[in-house]
Amino acid sequence: MRFIVDESTGYSIARYLQTQGHDVLIVAEAMPEADDVAILQRAFAEERIVVTNDKDFGELIFRRREPHHGVVLLRLQDESGENRLQVMKALMEQYSEQLPERFAVVTEKNVRFRPKNA
C-alpha cells in the first residue's frame, strides 16, 4: 500500500510501515509545513492513504467533500510514540485490507470505518 504520514503523527509509524514493505511518503521530509489541503491533494494524486492525528482531515473530507483514497485518523488517549506505534501495528494486522477508500477513526479500543462518500 501507499501511505502519506502527517508531520504530527511521527517517524516511528512511517518507519514501521516502510519495514512492512509499504511505499511511505513522510510529510516532514517531502513537504515540511504543508497545510492539510496540500497533503490531502498530494495523497489523492498519488493514491496514498493519509495517516494522521489531525481531525481537520475529517472536516475537509466530510464537509468540504475533498477527494481522498483513505484516511487513518488516530484519536488516542495516550499520544506517546510507543502507544501510537502499538495501535498502528494492531490496525495493520487486523484491518489493513479495509483501509483503502475509507476513513478510519482509530482509538486504543476500537476502529470505526466510514465509506469514502459518507
Confirm if 61 and 71 have CB atoms less than 8 A apart. yes
Query: Which residue range(s) make up the domain with 8?
Result: 2-115
What CATH number does residue 17 fall under? 3.40.50
pLDDT in tens, 4-25: 999 989 899 999 999 999 999 9
Q: How far apart are CA 115 and CA 98, in angstroms?
A: 10
pLDDT in tens, 24-48: 999 999 999 899 999 999 999 999 9
Q: How far is CA 92 from CA 22, 34, 62, 72, 99, in A?
A: 11, 26, 24, 11, 9
Q: How far is CA 51 from CA 2, 91, in A?
A: 11, 12
pLDDT in tens, 70-108: 999 999 999 998 999 999 999 999 999 999 999 999 999
Number of domains observed in the structure of the chain: 1
Q: Global pTM? A: 0.94
Bridge partners (DSSP) listed for residue 25: 4
Q: In what order do the strands lie in the sheet with 49-52?
A: 23-26, 2-5, 49-52, 71-74, 102-106, 111-115
Confirm if 45 and 64 have CB atoms less than 8 A apart. no
